[in-house]
């Protein structure tokens, strides 16, 4: 039975606690305004968590964390495609000896923690949980109760009578057998942000701008999804969500959806101070629209030093091409989903 409701009545922590305690398997969708998050659980443990319309892939996270390089990722993706059965990318990388099981689990847990921490701030919106029988294919599972405990929520106070507060607006679709995580994510038309797409654009930018980073936009928050040069200190948690800074060029560029450059403002400096110790004299910002919405933006500067930027038209063109490529991928996924529904009917 599908269950749904409003976050004003039942908070994110309460929903997760209920699903974890009752060992539910399925897909939890959270939505507010233009923002959306998806969590996939199996027997109350989190297999996958993503916020916003951009889905950060494991390969992109591992490359960004410098646990693997681009050639290793491409080889692993090739092996994954050629595997006779559905295999997770993490499993392939462990079998290749490119990453340890411990490092892989730490990265997945850290990413899930960052998403959950952001979702716990949601005070309004809607949730819907669809039960699905999920098969395991080597996915790493994260205990939802552990994540809530790490955020200061008492999981001993299990919801009494919370089931009565869930609404069941319509019968859940009947499941024809079980599904895999890969099949479930294929139904999600979120933009898939893979390193094979983002790295070429960042390489182009690195020829003109000394350091840069790619950020995804989630309603009023932003998150680093790629970078080059001297940026993230080790103390910064991977996947951390930051509020869009007020009184900043960042906010202005996102509002007007146009590239902008100039001396960083107070809000820009406060944001950049969280990502490194270098203070730039000038920054450049390039919003990236996908399907009519600004989903990503590039932020770059020439710290340390004050040398001028190179040819920015080439950087803007590379970012535009990346946005178009991601949009084409999302449209292709949506078409596959529609065709799949047509076959079922």
Find out whether 38 and 190 touch, Cβ atoms under 8 Å: yes
Q: For 12-30, how does the pLDDT look when each residue is reduced to its tens digit (9 = 90+)? A: 888 888 888 888 888 899 9
Q: What is the DSSP letter of 224?
A: E
Count other Cβ atoms within 10 Å, centred on residue 8. 10
Q: Which residues of the chain have pLDDT under 70?
A: 34, 53, 136-138, 149-190, 232-239, 333-345
Provide the pLDDT for residue 340: 55
Q: What is the residue-wise DSSP string for 231-243?
A: ---TTSPTT-EEE
Provide the pLDDT for residue 312: 92
**Residue at token pair 């990346």:** 322
Give CA–CA dist 37/185, Å, rounded: 13
Provide the pLDDT for residue 173: 44
Domain layout of the chain by residue ranges: 3-179, 192-332
Residue 300 three-state SS: strand
From the number of C-beta atoms within 10 Å of its C-beta (0-12, 13-18, 19+), residue 174 rates as exposed
Q: For 193-224, how does the pLDDT look when each residue is reduced to its tens digit (9 = 90+)? A: 777 888 899 999 999 999 999 998 887 889 88
pTM reported for the whole predicted model: 0.65
Pairing relationship of beta strands 45-51 and 35-42 according to DSSP bridges: antiparallel
Domain boundaries 192-332, CATH class: alpha beta
Provide the pLDDT for residue 44: 85
Provide the pLDDT for residue 100: 92
């Amino acid at each position: 039975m599908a269950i749904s409701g409003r976050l004003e009545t039942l908070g994110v922590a309460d929903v997760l606690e209920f699903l974890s305690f009752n060992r539910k398997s399925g897909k939890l969708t959270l939505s507010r305004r233009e923002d959306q998050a998806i969590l996939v659980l199996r027997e109350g443990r989190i297999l996958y968590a993503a916020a916003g319309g951009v889905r950060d892939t494991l390969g992109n996270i591992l490359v960004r964390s410098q646990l693997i390089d681009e050639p290793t990722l491409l080889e692993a993706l090739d092996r994954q495609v050629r595997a006779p059965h559905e295999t997770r990318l993490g499993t392939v990388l462990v079998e290749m000896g490119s990453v340890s099981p411990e490092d892989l689990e730490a990265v997945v847990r850290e990413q899930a923690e960052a998403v959950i921490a952001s979702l716990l701030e949601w005070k309004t919106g809607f949730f819907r949980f669809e039960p699905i029988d999920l098969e395991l294919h080597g996915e790493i599972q994260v205990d939802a109760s552990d994540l809530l405990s790490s955020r200061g929520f008492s999981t001993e106070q299990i919801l009494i009578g919370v089931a009565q507060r869930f609404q069941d607006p319509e019968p859940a679709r009947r499941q024809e057998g079980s599904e895999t995580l890969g099949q479930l994510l294929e139904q999600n038309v979120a933009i898939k942000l893979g390193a094979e797409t983002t790295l070429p654009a960042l390489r182009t930018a690195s020829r003109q701008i000394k350091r840069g980073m790619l950020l995804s936009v989630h309603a009023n928050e932003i998150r680093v999804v790629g970078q080059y040069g001297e940026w993230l200190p080790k103390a910064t948690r991977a996947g951390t969500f930051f509020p869009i800074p007020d009184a900043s060029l960042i906010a202005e560029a996102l509002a007007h959806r146009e590239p902008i450059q100039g001396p960083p403002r107070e809000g820009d400096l406060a944001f950049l101070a969280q990502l490194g110790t270098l203070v730039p004299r000038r920054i450049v910002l390039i919003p990236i629209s996908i399907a009519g919405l600004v989903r990503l933006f590039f932020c770059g500067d020439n710290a340390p030093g004050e040398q001028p930027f190179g040819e920015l038209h080439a950087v803007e063109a590379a970012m535009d091409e990346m946005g178009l490529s991601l949009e084409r991928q999302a449209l292709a996924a949506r078409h596959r989903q529609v065709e799949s529904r047509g076959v079922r009917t």
